[in-house]
Structure 1
Amino acid sequence: MRTRLKVRKQPPAEMLSSKLIFAIRIPGSVDLHPHIRKILRKLRMTKVLTGVFLKATELTLKRLLVVEPFVTYGFPNLKNVKELIYKKGRGFLDKEPFPLTSNDLIEKALGSHGIICLEDLVHEIATVGPHFRDASKFLMPFKLKCPERRLQMKKKPYKDGGDSGDRGDKINELIEKLN
């Protein structure tokens, strides 16, 4: 882990230009280092094949570099953001999960931030608006289905033929398979 981090200390500059990242936890080792497990918990990816929307900050990108063998990530387009929230979206209200079927519940949870319907929620996530953090925490991590060709924890990153690591815009193809 240390040698991998020494090689890639800084996240690439093109990753900071995009504001929204969708990260998916892929199957991997059961016995994780406590530091890796802690970072995955902070990113809300405790279970395999769960996905979360993240804001592309320098801290987030450094965390993703640390847990790179266990996650794949990239930049989703508006179509996939909308489909994920409509199909798989679930929210928290009073620590109780519920499907995103009623605008009343969304307004009750996020109305103070000006988010009163599902379209407002999609817009806030897709544009990484000023209340992105609250909207993202309101959404539960997305439970994705298993693809036809299983994702495997390989030593190689995506750019070298593996499944882990930065996919860039190719994450959209994976989201369509898993959604």
Structure 2
Amino acid sequence: MAEEAKVAAIVPESVLKKRKRNDEWALAKTQATAAQKKKSAENRKIIFKRAEQYAKEYKDQERELIRLKREAKLKGGFYVSPEAKLLFIVRIRGINAMDPKTRKILQLFRLRQIFNGVFLKVNKATVNMLRRVEPYVTYGYPNLKSVKELIFYCNVYQIP
């Protein structure tokens, strides 16, 4: 009977190796998880600080704008705000009776269908092309709020 107990207690070497390997893998996995958790916590802190910095910048810009307007008002003049750097363009007409150059400009603007909209940076070339396609599009200079709404709520996120 003692021999039977010995035989039952013997475990194959492959099983022992597998247990050891699984223990090593589990240890490595817990270490990797802990390292990832630590790294993500640091990244969260960095992202939060960056967001605070952006909010502070926008608040400072608004205050500066208000200060400049008040200063101009006190001097008896008026404040002319700088030109916007961003345009939002929406196509409002189809392709009937459209010359090839206009069609090409609309393709360059990524406005292939009616009611498609795009954000574009304002520069001399963009403004010149926009003048050619004015009858087929409507455009404006969006503020931060409308840009956020378009990006977050309407899934408009292809900014070149």
TM-score bucket of the superposed structures, by smaller chain: 0.3 to 0.5
Bigger relative contact order (CA 8 A; separation at least 6) = 1
What TM-score, normalized to structure 1?
0.41
* Greater share of helix: 2
Q: 1 or 2, which has the higher strand percentage?
A: 1
In terms of Rg, which structure is larger? 2
